[in-house]
Chain A
Amino acid sequence: MLLSPNAMGRPLRTGLYLTTGIIAAFLLLPVVFIVLLSFGSSQWLVFPPPGWTFKWYDQFFSNPEWMDAALASLKVAVLTTFAAVALGLPTAFALVRGRFPGRELLYGLFTMPMIVPLVIIAVAVYALFLKLGYTGTLFAFVVSHVIVALPFTIISIINSLKLFDQSIEDAAVICGASRLQAIVKVTFPAIRPGMIAGGLFAFLVSWDEVVLSVMMASPDLQTLPVKMWTTLRQDLSPVIAVASTLLIGLSILVMFIASALRRRNETNA
Chain B
Amino acid sequence: MKVAINALHNAQGADPGTGAPRAAVRRPPLSQRWRGSRNLLPALLFLGLFFFAPLIGLLLRGVLEPVPGLGNYEQLFANSAYARVLFNTFSVAGLVTVISMLLGFPLAWAITLVPRGWGRWLLNIVLLSMWTSLLARTYSWLVLLQGSGVINKLLMALGIIDAPLEMVHNLTGVVIGMSYIMIPFIVLPLQATMQAIDPMVLQAGSICGASPWTNFWKVFIPLCRSGLFSGALMVFVMSLGYYVTPALLGGAQNMMLPEFIIQQVQSFLNWGLASAAAALLVVITLVLFYLYLKLQPESPVGNAR
Give A contacts to B, CB under 8 Å: 1-5, 8-9, 12, 16-17, 19-20, 23-24, 26-31, 33-34, 37, 44-47, 79, 82-83, 86-91, 93-101, 103-104, 106-110, 112-113, 115-128, 143-144, 146-147, 150, 154-155, 158, 162-163, 165-166, 169-170, 173, 179-180, 182-184, 204, 207-208, 210-211, 225, 228-229, 232, 236, 240-241, 243-245, 247-248, 251-252, 254-255
Contacts and interface: CB of A to CB of B under 8 A. Distances in A.
Nearest to A106: B40
Contact of B301 (A16, A103, A208): A103
Given A82-B4, A94-B38, A183 B144 contact: no
8 contacts: A20-B109, A47-B149, A117-B281, A119-B258, A123-B261, A162-B304, A208-B133, A232-B139
A87 B265 contact: no
Given A2-B202, A24-B125, A228 B15 contact: no
B175 to A, nearest CB: 14
B161 interface: no
A8 B109 CA distance: 12
Q: Which of A17, A24, A30, A170 has the largest count of B CB atoms less than 10 A from its CB?
A: A30
Contacts of A245: 136
B39 interface: yes
B57 A120 contact: no
A155 B47 CA distance: 16
Q: Which of A9, A24, A241 has the largest count of B CB atoms less than 10 A from its CB?
A: A24
Interface residues of B, number: 110
Nearest to B153: A47
B289 interface: yes
Given A30-B140, A31-B129, 9 more contacts: A1-B202, A94-B36, A94-B40, A116-B285, A117-B285, A158-B300, A179-B15, A184-B12, A252-B128
Contacts of B241: 116-120
B112 interface: yes
Given A2-B212, A90-B10, A90-B11, A83 B50 contact: no
Nearest to B179: A26
Interface of B: 1, 3-5, 7-8, 10-16, 18-20, 32-40, 42-44, 46-47, 50-51, 53-55, 57-58, 61, 103, 106-107, 109-110, 112-114, 122, 125-129, 131-137, 139-144, 146, 148-150, 153, 180, 183, 194, 197, 199, 202-203, 205-206, 212, 215-216, 219-220, 237, 240-244, 248, 258, 261-262, 265, 271, 274, 278, 281-282, 285-286, 289, 293, 299-301, 303-305
Nearest to A117: B241
Contacts of B128: 28, 31, 251-252, 255
A119 B110 CA distance: 35
A103 B143 CA distance: 47
A122 B258 CA distance: 11
A8 B86 CA distance: 45
Given A87-B7, A119-B261, A124-B54, A228 B139 contact: yes
B264 to A, nearest CB: 9
A147 B50 contact: yes
A115 B12 contact: no
A1 B55 contact: no
B1 A83 contact: yes
A245 B199 CA distance: 41
A118 B37 contact: no
Given A143-B50, A147-B50, A179 B16 contact: yes
A122 B50 CA distance: 11
A150 B257 CA distance: 26
B134 A210 contact: yes
Given A28-B125, A94-B40, A252-B128, A33 B150 contact: yes
A240 B55 CA distance: 33
A80 B142 CA distance: 30
Contacts of A104: 299, 301
A89 B57 contact: no
A245 B286 CA distance: 35
Contacts of A8: 113, 212
A128 B43 contact: no
Given A1-B212, A232-B139, A211 B286 contact: no
A93 B15 CA distance: 9
B54 A20 contact: no
The 4 closest A-B CB pairs, nearest first, are A117-B241, A98-B36, A244-B136, A86-B4
Contacts of B132: 31, 247-248, 251-252
Given A108-B293, A123-B261, A94 B39 contact: yes
